[in-house]
């Protein structure tokens, strides 16, 4: 299951990369031919997205490396580092360039644009970006349905940074195309190039907002994001299902990579076995839990005397 999901994420990124490169080339040619500020912003946006997909592919590759003696927790968190680079790249190469170009074009005597070329490229771009968005949406919607949450909620909370980045970038790309279309259309209808420049600025602001959200999410996971309550409750029930376990008094789940958890728990074992038997029971429970594809490592310890037991929601 994990390998299938990783393959799905890689396919989503590769599809987005192919679409963005084709769209970036088309927008660059259109920007050169039309001189449209909005089209320049869109070209910068697509080139920034194309570069970001390279970072996201590296994120997928890094996260898939198995843990070793140098990194006992695995390499999962490295995916957040590369995704953070991608988000910063979106901000600098996309947002800053678009806003600066738009501001520089305010009040300028921009030559009359070739609107047919601009509209044609925007339409083709919308199709390619739409195909990429549908793939990321399908992946996000499927995972959200499995967890019983909305698609948007899953995208914002998921521990998979590449899925979140592609979904966010594709969404921003479609919105940016609409903004660019509106700016060019108003330029054509009014003869005022200021609307085209404002379109470039708005595209830049949109990219800045998306980049800041992505940067913040990756920062949170790098610092150590706790798993959602539903995952905590599921694992608590699974630990209590072991006949050796009488109660759980402490449980900590922390993401160490995309859909990878590090687990620390304090448990009270049934009976009053000798120390050697206790150690064997703890090791057996740890080994069983680590068979779960989503769990990287489990550390169990004995509860303090008198510690209050944690109860599953159904028992509370």
pLDDT tens-place string over residues 104-144: 888 666 555 678 888 999 999 999 999 999 999 999 999 89
Q: How many Å apart are CA 267 and CA 299, to the nearest integer?
A: 11
Of 47 and 70, more confident: 47
Domain range enclosing 280: 229-302
Residue 226: DSSP 8-state: B
Residue 193 phi, psi dihedral angles, 5° rounding: -70, -10
Q: What is the pLDDT of residue 240?
A: 92
Tokens of 206: 């949109």
The answer to which of 72-86, 120-134, 235-249 has the lowest mean pLDDT is 72-86
Quick one: 245 and 219 in the same domain?
Answer: no
The answer to which of 2-6, 66-70, 116-120 has the lowest mean pLDDT is 2-6
Quick one: 122 and 237 in the same domain?
Answer: no
Q: Is 134 helix (H, G, I), strand (E, B) or coil?
A: helix
Answer yes or no: is 88 within a domain.
yes
CB 20 within 8 A of CB 155: no
Give tens-digit pLDDT for 260-305. 999 999 999 887 766 568 888 899 999 999 999 889 899 999 988 8
Quick one: 237 and 252 in the same domain?
Answer: yes
Q: What is the pLDDT of residue 1?
A: 45
pLDDT greater than 90 at residue 69 = no
The answer to which of 13-17, 77-81, 250-254 has the lowest mean pLDDT is 13-17
CATH value at residue 276: 3.30.70.1350
Q: Which of the listed residues 223, 240, 259 is the one where a domain comes to its end?
A: 223
Q: How many Å apart are CA 173 and CA 221, to the nearest integer?
A: 25
Question: Quick one: average pLDDT of 193-205?
Answer: 89
DSSP 208-227: HHHHHHHHHHHHHHHH-PBP
Residues 6+ apart with CB under 8 A from 115: 34, 184, 188
Q: What is the CA radius of gyration of the chain?
A: 25
Quick one: 276 and 215 in the same domain?
Answer: no
Answer yes or no: is 191 within a domain.
yes
Residues 6+ apart with CB under 8 A from 245: 239, 267, 268, 269, 270, 285
- pLDDT confidence bin for 178, thresholds 50/70/90: very high
Tell me which residue of 294, 254, 290, 221 sits closest to 3, measured CA to CA.
Answer: 294
Q: How many Å apart are CA 118 and CA 138, to the nearest integer?
A: 30
- pLDDT confidence bin for 218, thresholds 50/70/90: very high
Q: Which of the listed residues 196, 223, 250 is the one where a domain comes to its end?
A: 223
Give the chain's mean pLDDT.
86
Which percentage of the chain shows pLDDT scores above 70? 93
């Amino acid at each position: 299951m994990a390998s299938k999901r990783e393959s799905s994420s890689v396919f989503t990124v590769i599809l987005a990369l192919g679409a963005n490169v084709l769209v970036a080339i088309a927008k660059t040619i259109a920007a050169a031919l039309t001189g449209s500020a909005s089209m320049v912003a869109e070209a910068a946006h697509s080139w920034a997205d194309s570069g970001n997909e390279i970072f996201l592919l590296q994120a997928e590759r890094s996260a898939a490396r198995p843990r070793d003696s140098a990194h006992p927790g695995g390499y999962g968190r490295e995916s957040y580092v590369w995704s953070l680079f991608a988000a910063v790249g979106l901000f600098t190469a996309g947002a800053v360039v678009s806003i600066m170009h738009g501001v520089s074009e305010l009040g300028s005597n921009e030559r009359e644009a070739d609107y047919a070329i601009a509209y044609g490229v925007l339409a083709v771009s919308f199709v390619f970006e739409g195909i990429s968005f549908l793939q990321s949406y399908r992946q996000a919607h499927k995972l959200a349905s499995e967890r019983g949450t909305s698609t948007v909620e899953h995208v914002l909370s998921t521990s998979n940074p590449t899925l979140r980045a592609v979904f966010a970038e594709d969404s921003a790309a479609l919105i940016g195309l609409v903004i660019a279309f509106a700016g060019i259309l108003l330029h054509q209808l009014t003869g005022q190039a200021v609307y085209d420049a404002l379109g470039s600025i708005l595209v830049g602001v949109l990219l800045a907002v998306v980049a800041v959200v992505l940067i913040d999410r990756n920062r949170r996971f790098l610092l150590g994001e706790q798993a959602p309550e539903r995952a905590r409750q599921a694992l608590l029930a699974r630990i209590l299902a072991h006949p050796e376990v009488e109660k759980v008094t402490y449980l900590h789940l922390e993401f160490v990579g995309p859909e990878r958890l590090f687990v620390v728990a304090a448990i009270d074992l049934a009976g009053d076995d000798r120390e050697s038997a206790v150690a064997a029971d703890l090791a057996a429970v740890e080994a069983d839990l680590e068979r779960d594809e989503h769990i990287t490592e489990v550390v169990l310890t004995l509860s303090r005397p008198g510690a209050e037991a944690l109860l599953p929601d159904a028992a509370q």
